[in-house]
Chain A
């Protein structure tokens, strides 16, 4: 059974600081997704990581994937208040179904 676990679940950080959100998944899967959700809003796709060693960057966010360690990271550089949101990672069950499994999310609050 595919499980996707994120940590931390909550993160409060000062503006200008760096931090990393971790996403572990429990079965072999070659694709990992990151989404952002603002309070009361829907989910917005941030990154799609398709292979081992993949790295994607957008502004102050950088995501990477290590399929051997079954780990993805979302690194935040010099955080700003606008990055406050909940971040989800997700992966596919590749055992022949199309189950798409989300982590429980990391609620990020950037303090001015």
Chain B
């Protein structure tokens, strides 16, 4: 699982596009944010192409799954409270399969 940016710094309201690509032919893909003291929280997930659903903290985020290998996370108008470490993950077909995580993107919104 690859995430193109390790560090990003953006200004409030400046659109952010976080890339996530997996080459394992996995059906399922996920986005998480990690914040100190809160662990990892699921933002969105996708069970297949064109099939997405909200996780626990979807507000302020959008996703799309137009092809199997690609699952970008979009922050249309980011705010400072979206400063976080973002992880993308993927898993194979079965429900509950182990997830494989990307390296993470540390986003700072000023």
Contact = CB atoms under 8 A, between A and B. Distances in A.
A48 interface: yes
B107 to A, nearest CB: 15
Main SS of the interface on chain B? Answer: strand
Interface stretch (B18-26, B40-48, B59-67, B70-78): B40-48
A44 B100 CA distance: 7
B98 A105 contact: no
A2 to B, nearest CB: 10
Interface stretch (A11-19, A63-71, A94-102): A94-102
Interface in B23-69: 28, 30, 32, 37-42, 45, 47, 53, 55-56
Instruction: Give the interface residue-count category, chain B.
Output: 20 to 34
A79 B96 CA distance: 30
A50 B98 CA distance: 11
A63 to B, nearest CB: 13
24 contacts: A33-B99, A42-B87, A42-B104, A43-B40, A43-B89, A43-B99, A44-B101, A45-B100, A48-B98, A88-B40, A92-B95, A98-B28, A98-B45, A98-B53, A99-B55, A99-B56, A100-B42, A100-B45, A100-B55, A101-B42, A101-B56, A102-B40, A104-B37, A105-B39
